[in-house]
Structure 1
């Protein structure tokens, strides 16, 4: 058989080229004294460290996502629990309200048989002395009984209370009238005292005015007498000088 030149697959060609390039880069790192380190591939170690850090970060993000999801689920569960409790309270309240409005014991058909206060509510055999139900053979009305004694005593007590209230009102009215009379007397007495003080003050002012007038009158008389004496002395002196000149 003859060997034919079959074209290679493009993917295989790319893989071969990638391996050649990687081998060339590896040889460059190995034979380059500047980047070469004996026994350790630093870039590979750094890549491993980065990969590990990336995995740890990915795990941390995954754990945080699960934690947030758990917190959200807890909050939803709490809200649902609160809503369930609220619905139960509302249902119980509505049930109690319905029972209070529509299921009272006195609304039952057999309530007249089960009423504990049946005897208290029942009408007695005899209500008063004139009860028409009490006939001759009823044996409910006897001589000397007084069924209205309680009402009569109650009426008498009310009458006594009314009399006591009227007496208290009369006493209060008398006290008020006495207080009004005392106030009027005190006001009149104060008015008379004030008038007496005013009259006394007017009398004192009048007396002062009279005394002032008398004083002024006396002062005027003294001044007039003094003036007359001075004029008399002056005339005497003038007369004496006149006679003296005539003699000379």
Structure 2
């Protein structure tokens, strides 16, 4: 990796909470603040890979009456202006139909999906569909993956690879373990590698070392669900954090 290349910031927000227009206004403000790609989260009742903040945002959106048509409405207003992916769990994709989802993604200009509970083996069977619609299905790697497993997962990776850094890996152990997985990934692909776990304005610079970008979710979403803030205050605060993170990872 060339350290002079601009490191990317991917921002996650939960779709349609507190309502659709807010999501659109927030996303476009985040783009102005330096967010390169948006993970538009599809609210789901059991978001097993997410922490309590994003889980709460999911449940609030569902209690607010979220429907997939809301996702499509906000996507139609965001995706023409910034790179946008849909992040969700397999159940909604399966129930609606993967191909129908990809047709909608094509219609609105969505560039890919992030499905954390989709097993790699099943993801492989969907590759022809993704290729048909020219969409990326983001690959996940973790420090617990063997070298052989990493090679298998990322050989056909598209757009970027999502590296999950576990909370238990801290201090020097974290640095050592992550440097190993980073070098293993680099052996097999030139696809950009982004780190996503516990990244905020305080940790982003350290976590961005050796990778091509960072993925930030909870640190944005906690302000979305903060009822003490007005709509405009939420957008201002989140955009300021995004700007700070983008600057720090590129210092």
TM-score by length of 1: 0.14
- Greater share of strand residues, 1 or 2? 2
Normalized per residue, the structure richer in helix is: 1
